[in-house]
Structure 1
């Protein structure tokens, strides 16, 4: 016997509702909640610890939680990573405010499933009363994709109110004459309440040896500059992202001046060779932009994901703008910085916020300076990176306008050509080397060998600097008219050209 549906429309509504809830249960199968959800407040001055638990987690590689609370009832004492993510997760506190505290953590190459504790948060009770604990959560997978999650906050309950006792029925009062009421003097107008006093807090941040990405967790009494911030955390460099020009701006401690201001809600890359723990003091931020989470450092020399090439410009021309170009020959990556003749300091920055290496020991860097017409006015210079450069995360060198170096070794055409009896042979050297000039006849026999000796990197293109041949062989005899070949040789270069003697 078949079952009949009395009201098909109602059935479809029920079916659609069921499918909707079933679909939502798939999307929001992960739940993050405060545990215990309801708890009685301890006495004033005592501490209260709550767990931030996840149930039904699947393929979780990272999280960010922000806990909000009533600052008249509680003050934050600490927040710590739980045991849900695999051992070795990177953990970073978020900047705290008067009414919130947060934490972020992520893993590389590992995930977690099921139930567990993401983090624990501890409060100090300011006043024993009812209050609400709010929770904001982001859960991500290994590709950093944010996953849907159901979030449940918590409730703190204060003491139960005392029940009033039944008052005794008063005796019938005697009838008394009503006395005249004296005039009530009008006092001064009530004073406006003073603004709340900002409480100075302390925040300890662990910095790994090498590169770290951090933000200011508290607002300092005196604003930091790049110079004072580097001194405070023990850094050799400070790097920020300039959102206007969409490029990195660096500061190194050997430079003069204060550098750029350090602001709340912004992330900064710092290199702290020795690592250690830094204590920040200040008050909670009130109007910060979206918080930039601090992030753990990377141990050298495994990867250096930020590096600065810095220096001074010397002998610049007034009113001329210059561009510094630094190139890593191994990777082909180029960093540039435009500098005015008045500023005379430059910082070119390589940085990869995904923490992939931008430089390694043994890399060859090529540095050049161009004027605003596109002409090379200093360099190119080459520099080989060593382990000390990675430890500092910067390289410092001056660039002098007019100090132009050849980009390659070249043997040029002799002049004059044809000639009788003497000629000059110009060349340029990319790097310093021992140089030898040999002259051959058309049969390949050596006519003359001229040992030019050790020559510094540079240009040898004029009569006063080029190699000179007086038209004589090794015996001191004048050679006959005809075609000859000349060859320039260094330990890693050789080139040959043709010349003609006409008598």
Structure 2
């Protein structure tokens, strides 16, 4: 209300809008900082920051500034002021990095003194290798990448006396790729006359032995000590379909994260070089990933932060680096977020944007909304389970909304009791969709007094209809203060565990293929094995007890489909849990091993049958759901063959109002909410559409079909 009155006053008496103040504030002041931002660093006019790096002590932030000419600015982090500005002589430089001791930093072909800003070393023969340059973890070597490939230099060489050539150049002959080691797949990508195409970034492993290289073909893993290529992570490994834009090793050396031009972030096991998982979509209405130009691990390797390009370009997202689950959104930039980085102590995140600002964010004071208890083991069907929706570390909260997702076959929603956390809170009647497994909660304080600290937002009760492993997840958690300003919370769900011993447990306890011990060997067991690929022994997914979870374990599980006493639903939830890509990749890997064992051969046949289940007999556009709706809906479809997919949305009188370009999609059924096309009820300008009838058209190759939907507000 205060903000609305101020806006009216300024418009009537001073002739401009409150948004004008926000724009002025964002240009070069500390006014109107976004939620959880602690500082805005001011960039010279008509320039914008491209890359960032913290010094090892966290006291200095280096920024590479684009356009005309390019500059390096060093910032005093504590005082939020500029320390040094250096003109960069070359427009092809894209990165800036501090040395491990913090005494120097490198940008392009030049090492600079951190204190004076004076050049200390020029890298000879660097043309074509200087777009991205990084230090090795021990600081003794520099690796540079560009249009010609990879090249190394000694970082301590004296440029006036050293005439030795660079340490080495990345081999480009595909025969140099080591294919002898188990699990390494060498994809021919070049002849001896060309180099790795379109390199976008480098990351050293913490031990300095390997480099991960982001390029248009995938993620190269390169032995920096032996100067040889090791392998390439591509779509065939369960990873990227498009060019990779960013890559990073976790500080503990166990994981590699990579982001691509299609908005996907993949995690890889750095030891086994196996695909681990794909990060989930942001669980906030209307938010999704586009290009991923930058991503970084937190210093403790537990979290990942990423920037975003194009759509939703003002957002940064955080995930749990172990589970891949979405956790948090930072919102405040007004342009594409091009670079992100954690401070060495993990307490601050720095971000750059095409809005010509650098923002520093407090990563210690965010509110947390969680489901408690965080794990439950039901004992009997019909049992009632109660969960609390908790909030901690909150400040000035006057309203909230949240959606709880549950397994609709395992649980039946009973009721919600709202807590007393909000002062004079007025709860909204919960909105239940038992079919989809969602219940939406909301409450608003009428007192005008914001609540702080910890408390219980609501208590939710469910009845157990089936005992199996599942999750209670949170999405669309939005908090608001008494002026209606929205912010987000770090979200934590709950795990529903299946007991290893029930009344009929003897059907599965001794069956090692029943990985989740629910007395059925089915799709859930396959997925559990796949998510554990690359892990060592002592793991329930290591079905054959050979000390490693791999494709052999998965095929053996597939071969056991139907062996259990309660086998009827071996294909249940198939389309919701796996894709045609998943099964095709498993089959390719299985055929390479091709054990003569009868159970293994039976498992391969089961995977072939699964593929037929996942590939429909015809391409079709299915009815959207919900319908009618307000404000969001999902548009399901199915493809009999791979195709470029686009959904066009028209108003009732004919004009095209929104285009959903879904890109190249493999054959399969895109029915559940994670796979169907999503429309947030807005036009191309991001404005909500009016109530009425709309038409949606699916274009997939030569296929075209149209259906009708209804928006009611």
**Same fold? TM cut 0.5:** no
For normalisation by structure 1, the TM-score amounts to 0.31
Query: Larger C-alpha radius of gyration, 1 or 2?
Result: 1
Higher strand proportion: 1
Question: Could you tell me the TM-score, scaled by structure 2's length?
Answer: 0.22
Question: Looking at both structures, which has the greater relative contact order when contacts are Cα pairs under 8 Å and sequence separation is at least 6?
Answer: 1
Greater helix proportion: 2
